[in-house]
Amino acid sequence: MRAAERAAAVLAERDAIQANLLELDGSYVRQVLEGAALTGRSKERWAAASGTLATLWETYLTYSAVVDRVAELGTGPRRPVKKDLPELSGLLTGGCVVLAGAPVPLARRDLTGAGRPPVTLAAAVGAMRRAFTQVTEVTSAIEAVWTAVGAPLDAADADLAASRPLADGLGADIGAEFRDAESAVGAARAAANADPLALWRDGRVDTAPADAARQRVAAVTARIGELDQVRQRARRRIVALAEGTAAARAARQDAIAAWHDAGTRLATLPSLPPPIAAPPAGLGALAADGQWSRLAGELERAEAELTAAAAGTAGLRGAVTGALAKRDELRGLLRAYKAKAARLGAAEDPELAARYDQAYDLLWTAPCDVAAAESAVAEYQRAILATEGRR
């Protein structure tokens, strides 16, 4: 490669180094770290990295001055000229850059050597590359931590901001939970800001503290949303509970009347469900006092009890109706089986007649023992089938 080409390559390399150093120096992370009150591992590693960065800039300034001289000698329409070739060659290949940093210890120097001997442009670039990597390893790790931790914490802050107006007036317990969640988010953020590298483990970010704070906020904001809904619907729910209780009691009275009526026709009936309790006293007072958390619990319990009571009433009515329907079904079967016996010419068979009379008496005697009647009808059916088989 000719001297002019080599000079142009050195100049382009210097420009790339300068661009990367300026980008690093102006980066958000580097600027924040410059004035941050760091602790722990982050404080130690950034102190070393910032020292390395300062040394890197010192080396770069010395290196850049040499590159400027190379550009002066080797670039341009009529460069290089013959008389400049020895100097240009010396700059391109020889030791010409004194690296910044501590001098070579006296015990390791030659008598005629300088405290820190100059190195070639290539060696200077290699030294700057290693220093740049050391610094960016720290800044990249910190940036990764802040990015990964910031997302759940920012989302938590947004949820808290949205729920803060709703939390007012929901009670002291919710207010305390809200403040605790705010403190948890603030503590997680402060820890990540002070020592981000404490969360950098094996090349990955430990987001567990931030995720825990996020989940805590999610729980309390969900609870606030629920209680706000209670607050908005409290009056309607209280009225609906009273109306539902009245309707359930009326339905129970109807079911009891049907149960008593069936008791004259059926021998066995299910037991009556317990009475339906009145709505808890003081629901309106809880709403008036803004005790929404307690009100929510009372309403949920009373509504669940009312639902269970209504189900018990429906079960009672269904059982009574089912027993009467079973009795009527057995009556129809008995008539059908008697008709079949007549078709077989066995209507007057003494055994069949006796079984028919037994089933008939059970089905048409009040109160009716449905289970015994069902067994008698089944015996009558088996007797008819046996007679049919013999014939």
Q: Can you give the length of the chain in residues?
A: 391
pLDDT tens, per residue, the chain with 391 residues = 588 888 889 999 999 999 999 999 888 898 888 888 999 999 999 999 999 999 999 999 999 999 988 888 887 776 777 888 888 888 888 888 988 865 555 555 555 455 578 999 999 999 999 999 999 999 999 999 999 999 999 999 999 999 999 888 777 888 899 999 999 999 999 999 999 999 998 889 999 999 999 999 999 999 999 888 888 888 888 889 999 999 999 999 998 988 888 888 888 888 888 899 889 888 888 887 778 778 888 999 999 999 999 999 999 899 888 989 999 999 999 899 888 888 888 767 888 888 888 989 988 988 998 899 899 999 988 988 888 777 6
CB 42 within 8 A of CB 29: no
How far out from the chain centre does Cα 191 lie? 22
Helices 85-93 and 3-26 cross at an angle (nearest 10°) of 50
Residue whose tokens read 């005629």:
112
Angstrom distance (rounded) from CA 346 to CA 355: 13
pLDDT tens profile 19-68: 999 999 888 898 888 888 999 999 999 999 999 999 999 999 999 999 98
pLDDT tens profile 55-111: 999 999 999 999 988 888 887 776 777 888 888 888 888 888 988 865 555 555 555
pLDDT tens profile 178-199: 999 999 999 999 999 999 999 9
> What is 372-383 written as a DSSP string?
HHHHHHHHHHHH
Q: What does the mean pLDDT of the chain come to?
A: 87
pLDDT reported for residue 391: 60
Angstrom distance (rounded) from CA 44 to CA 49: 9
Angstrom distance (rounded) from CA 383 to CA 355: 8
Query: What is the reported pTM?
Result: 0.58
Three-state secondary-structure class, residue 200: strand
Give every CB contact of residue 31 below 8 A, 6+ residues apart in sequence. Answer: none
The pair of three-digit structure tokens given for residue 255, joined into one six-digit string? 């079911």
Residue 272, number of CB atoms within 10 A of its CB: 14
**In the chain, alpha helices (H):** 3-26, 28-35, 40-74, 85-93, 121-167, 172-194, 208-263, 283-288, 292-343, 350-364, 370-390
Query: Which among 280, 260, 283 is positioned nearest to 270, based on CA atoms?
Result: 260
